[in-house]
Amino acid sequence: MELLDLPLSRIRDVIFQTSIDACPPYRSALALKEERESEEGFGHLPTHLMDIDSALLGGIPFGAITEVVGPAGFGKTQLCLMLCVNAALQKEYGGLDGSVIYYDSEHKFHPGRMAEIAQSRFPHVFSDLNNLRKLATSILVYHPHSLDEFISSLDGLENILIEKKVRLLIVDSIAALLQRWTRKPISEAWASSSDNEVNVAKSNLINVRAHEFGCSSMGWLTSSERYLAEAFRIPILVTNQVRISSNSRFSVSRHNEDADTMVHDPELQLTAALGPSWAHSVNIRIILESIGGQRFLKIAKSPLSPVTVHPYKVTNRGLELIGRDNYTCGGDIMQIHIDDDNIHGSGEWEV
């Protein structure tokens, strides 16, 4: 009123009209449905794993953040390489015929392994070396060495998404960027002390430091990724590590060879790294776990699917589902099951 020298009633009218003009228009459910159906793959990147695509109504959805959680060696990067192939594959073969941006924070991307997966899954396409070369040139790999470097690279990403016709963005792994300076392998922690309570105290201290350092960066990061996914209608896939935390309400399931039951350690729980704030920021969470020597892919969180569990194995084709049996998931959905040998054997487990 003071600056414009207008009465209060007039100021309110201006604010009301400005709000109407600035607010995005409403769209009906039918309009949204027709828009999604007009997109490539009906708005999904197919995994070409029949049961997974069926559960997710077509595959990894556009405009969303999908997270894959699991311990080292369970196939997170293998799944990423499979989806690279599917995104770059020609449309007539069920792909999106686009480019892929691949953030490889742990230097696990292997072009030879991607070529093996491509030739094994689509021999009729990639037996032609020209098609294989086209695939390789479609994957744009970045190696961020720090969280700051990764965040800086996102600033100029919009032009690249348009110019390169990017159809998939992968971050492998998000946890490594945020945890590199605060984490150490669990094998080292257990070696330093036989007292699990001491290790739990160390874990809590590390988590506090990580929270203080990464909270604001995490918020900016997730909002940026969500913006890119929604504005450019692409799927974003991120991998995450697992960690051991103290929680007396839950437990780590361990297989007992002498009985048909599961025994539990009431002090330790396997869960996804980065905590609940990050968990709430992803749209879909896929967990890779192991029970009794059999690996399972669990769709633990999805607005498109109920909780489903699928046995799988890793082959020259990447991840392959085994059989069509129905499996149920009891207890805490977000709990990650793992065999004892894998707990002690992996040097990449996080406290």
At residue 212, what is the residue type? E
At residue 146, what is the residue type? S
What are the pLDDT tens digits along the chain (351 aa)? Answer: 888 888 999 999 989 998 888 887 788 899 888 887 777 767 899 999 999 999 998 999 999 999 999 988 899 999 999 999 999 999 999 899 999 999 999 999 999 999 999 999 999 999 999 999 999 999 999 999 888 888 888 888 999 999 999 999 999 988 888 765 454 444 443 344 445 555 555 445 445 444 544 555 667 778 888 889 988 999 999 999 988 765 534 444 444 444 333 344 444 568 888 888 888 889 999 999 988 888 999 999 999 888 899 999 999 999 999 976 656 665 667 778 777 454 444 444 343
Residue 288: closest CA among 269, 307, 311: 311
Alpha helices in the chain (DSSP H): 8-22, 29-38, 50-55, 76-88, 111-121, 123-126, 129-138, 147-155, 157-163, 174-179, 186-192, 196-231, 275-281, 340-345
Rounded-to-integer distance, Cα 208 and Cα 116, Å: 42
Helix, strand, coil fractions of the chain, as percent rounded to 5: 45, 25, 35
Q: How many CA atoms does the CB half-sphere of 58 hold within 13 Å?
A: 15
Contact between 182 and 189 (Cβ < 8 Å): no
Contact between 41 and 59 (Cβ < 8 Å): yes
Q: Which residue matches tokens 């905590």? A: 275
pTM of the model: 0.76
Query: How many CB atoms are closer than 10 A to CB 153?
Result: 14
